């Protein structure tokens, strides 16, 4: 069986690298990787390929652009490769423009599509990702759901065929790579963090970071807390806006380039508090039992809110202050069974082998 995974963005490299290792143990499966090139800066792409020993077979070099431009260019390139390679199945991951382009290109060529991270909904159609999720799920044959909520969302939309509750492959990935990160990462030394508390911040949602005034308000709100060091590995989208914020408003924040996955796991695991608008980082905070404030009004991952490990604070300074005040670790441990306990890739593999 020939399978092509379509990837393009940082979180997809991480998940596809994990699944790739599992599928590689099965000689009856040929698994190729097609990178649309949506993420291309060295710290968003090459850093991951090297560290995860993951090298896509095709690179479309689509780069940045408007949604139509990025998705359209990716579809043109994906179609050409699918026509040449004639895979039995295309796998897409998550909710980016690369996900949408991969799913649409495949379904139009009558190639079955499997969606890893199917069924997630924010119910906010102004998020580009929400549109990508809805369209991708609607054309996918296999819907690999990471959580019970994702299964319920699809059920509520009337989807029955092909819905498989696999658990979250990001948990498998974390469990596999965390011991390696502990062995190999020197990020705490590099950042001169010696057993002291720090907060870890990431932001990249257009709604939060594209407008200078809004981003400045959030960063200023963090500065007005009683805070330890705040480390901010900054996504390139956010860097572009930060250039227009006066240095004085950023004094209290240590802005660094995005770090590798192993380095990031170590930072998360040692952070006193994680503040983020990322889907992946919210879950990793939960998996690692680190308190998290999500700088959004809603989440596709409500399981992380259980027992207060994750709190939705949006970008309102008062809510951020209240979240910081309540940041202590809850007494009840995170429930990893809600995310499949680390067996997602095994369940995905079994579903693929039974095709
Ligand atoms: C994309 C996904 C988002 C995902 C995120 C993961 C869509 C619609 N959005 O958002 O769902 O959470 O990836 O990180 O697909 N840029 C660079 N170098 C890069 C990549 C981006 O400089 O390697 C800059 C460019 O200025 C670009 C901007 O970041 O215009 C946004 O990049 P883009 O890939 O369009 O969206 P993300 O915000 O990264
Ligand atoms: N990540 C990383 N380096 C960083 C920031 C994040 O390796 O500097 C990893 C993080 O561990 C998680 C993934 O990137 O697995 C999340 O990606 P991102 O926040 O870009 O996208 P999202 O999950 O919101 O789609």
CATH number of 2-168+340-353: 3.40.50.2000
CA of 56 relative to ligand 2 center, distance in Å = 19
140-155, pLDDT tens digit by residue? Answer: 999 999 999 999 999 9
Q: Best substitution site from 7, 8, 9, 11 to test ligand 2's pocket, by max atoms within 8 Å of Cβ?
A: 11
How far, in Å, CA of 310 to CA of 306, rounded? 7
For residues 23 and 3, is the Cβ–Cβ distance under 8 A?
yes
pLDDT digits (tens, 9 = 90+) for 73-89: 999 999 999 999 999 99
Could you give the percent of the chain with pLDDT greater than 70?
A: 100
- CA of 38 from ligand 1 middle (Å) equals 7
Ligand 1 centre to CA of 28 (Å) is 35
The stretch 168-197 carries a mean pLDDT of 97
Q: Which of 293, 296, 292, 291 is nearest to 314 (CA)?
A: 296
**What CA–CA distances, in Å, run from 312 to 10, 86, 138, 315?**
24, 44, 28, 9
Q: Average pLDDT of the chain? A: 97
| pLDDT tens digit sequence for 19-63 | 999 999 999 999 999 999 999 999 999 999 999 999 999 999 999
Mean pLDDT on 199-228: 96
> What local confidence, expressed as pLDDT, does residue 330 receive?
85
Is domain 177-338 given the CATH code 3.30.300.130 in the classification?
no
Query: Percentage of the chain with pLDDT > 90?
Result: 97
Catalytic site includes residue 204: yes
Which residue, by CA, sits nearest to atom 7 of ligand 1?
A: 96
pLDDT tier, 331 (very low <50, low <70, confident <90, very high otherwise) = confident
CATH 3.40.50.2000 boundaries in the chain: 2-168+340-353, 177-338
Q: Which pLDDT value is given to residue 329?
A: 82
Average pLDDT over residues 173-184: 98
With 90 as the cut, is the pLDDT of residue 15 above it?
A: yes
Residue 83 CA to ligand 2 centre (angstroms): 32
**Ligand nearest to the backbone CA of 168:** 2
Residue nearest to atom 17 of ligand 2 (CA): 11
Confidence label for 118 from pLDDT (cuts 50, 70 and 90)? very high
**Distance in angstroms (rounded) separating the CA atoms of residues 92 and 8:** 10
- pLDDT above 90: residue 328: no
- What token pair was written down for 37? 């090139």
Is the pLDDT reported for residue 165 higher than 90? yes
Is the pLDDT score of 179 beyond 90?
A: yes
CA of 125 to the centre of ligand 1 (A): 18
pLDDT higher than threshold 90 for residue 327:
no
Q: Is the pLDDT of residue 347 over 90?
A: yes
3-state secondary structure the chain: CEEEEEECCHHHHHHHHHHHHHHCCCCCCEEEEEECCCCCCCCCCHHHHHHCCCCCCEECCCCCCCHHHHHHHHHHHHHHHHHHHCCCEEEEECCCHHHHHHHHHHHHCCCCEEEECCCCCCCCCCCHHHHHHHHHHHHCCEEEECCHHHHHHHHHCCCCCCEEECCCHHHHHHHHHHHHHHHHCCHHHHCCCCCCCEEEEECCCHHHHCCHHHHHHHHHHHHCCCCCEEEEECCHHHHHHHCCCCHHHHCCEEEECCCCHHHHHHHHHHCCEEEECCHHHHHHHHHCCCCEEECCCCCCCHHHHHHHCEEECCCCHHHHHHHHHCCCCCCCCCCHHHHCCCCHHHHHHHHHHCC
For range 205-232, the mean pLDDT: 96
Which ligand neighbours the alpha carbon of 17 most closely?
A: 2
- Please pick, among 115, 204, 207, 235, the residue that the annotation labels catalytic: 204
Kindly list the protein residues whose Cβ atom lies closer than 6 A to any atom of ligand 2: 10-11, 14, 94, 202, 204, 233, 258-259, 261, 264, 278-281, 284
Which residues approach ligand 1 with their CB closer than 6 A?
A: 9-11, 38-41, 44, 64, 95-97, 128-129, 204, 235-237, 240
Q: Which of 8, 10, 18 for mutating ligand 2's site (highest number of atoms within 8 Å of CB)?
A: 10
């Amino acid at each position: 069986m020939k399978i092509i995974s379509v990837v393009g963005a940082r979180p997809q490299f991480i998940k596809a690298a994990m699944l790739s290792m599992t599928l590689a143990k099965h000689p009856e499966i040929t698994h190729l990787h097609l990178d649309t090139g949506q993420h291309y800066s060295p710290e968003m792409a090459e850093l991951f390929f090297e560290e995860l020993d993951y090298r896509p077979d095709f690179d479309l070099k689509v780069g940045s652009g408007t949604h139509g431009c990025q998705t359209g260019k990716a579809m043109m390139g994906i179609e050409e490769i699918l026509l040449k390679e004639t895979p039995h199945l295309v796998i897409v991951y998550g909710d980016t423009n690369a996900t949408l382009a991969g799913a649409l290109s495949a379904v139009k060529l009558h190639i079955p599509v499997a969606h890893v991270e199917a069924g997630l909904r924010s119910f906010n159609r102004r998020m580009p990702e929400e549109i990508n999720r809805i369209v991708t799920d609607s054309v996918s044959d296999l819907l690999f759901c990471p959580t019970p909520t994702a299964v319920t969302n699809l059920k509520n939309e009337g989807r029955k065929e092909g819905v498989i509750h696999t658990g979250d492959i990001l948990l498998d990935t974390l469990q596999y790579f965390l011991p390696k990160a502990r062995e190999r990462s020197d990020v705490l030394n590099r950042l001169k963090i010696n057993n002291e508390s720090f907060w870890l911040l990431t932001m990249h949602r257009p709604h939060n970071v594209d407008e200078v005034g809004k981003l400045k308000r959030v960063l200023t709100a963090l500065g007005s807390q009683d805070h330890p060091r705040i480390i901010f590995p900054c996504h390139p989208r956010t860097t572009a806006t930060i250039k227009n914020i006066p240095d004085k408003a950023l004094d209290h924040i240590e802005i660094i380039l995005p770090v590798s996955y192993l380095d990031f796991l170590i930072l998360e695991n040692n952070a006193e508090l994680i503040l983020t608008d990322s889907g992946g980082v919210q879950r990793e905070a939960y998996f690692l039992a680190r308190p998290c404030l999500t700088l959004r009004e809603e989440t596709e991952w409500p399981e992380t809110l259980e027992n207060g490990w994750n709190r939705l604070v949006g970008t309102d300074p008062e809510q951020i202050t209240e979240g910081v005040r309540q940041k202590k670790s809850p007494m009840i441990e995170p429930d990893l069974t809600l995310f499949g306990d680390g067996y997602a890739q095994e369940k995905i593999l079994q579903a693929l082998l039974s095709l």
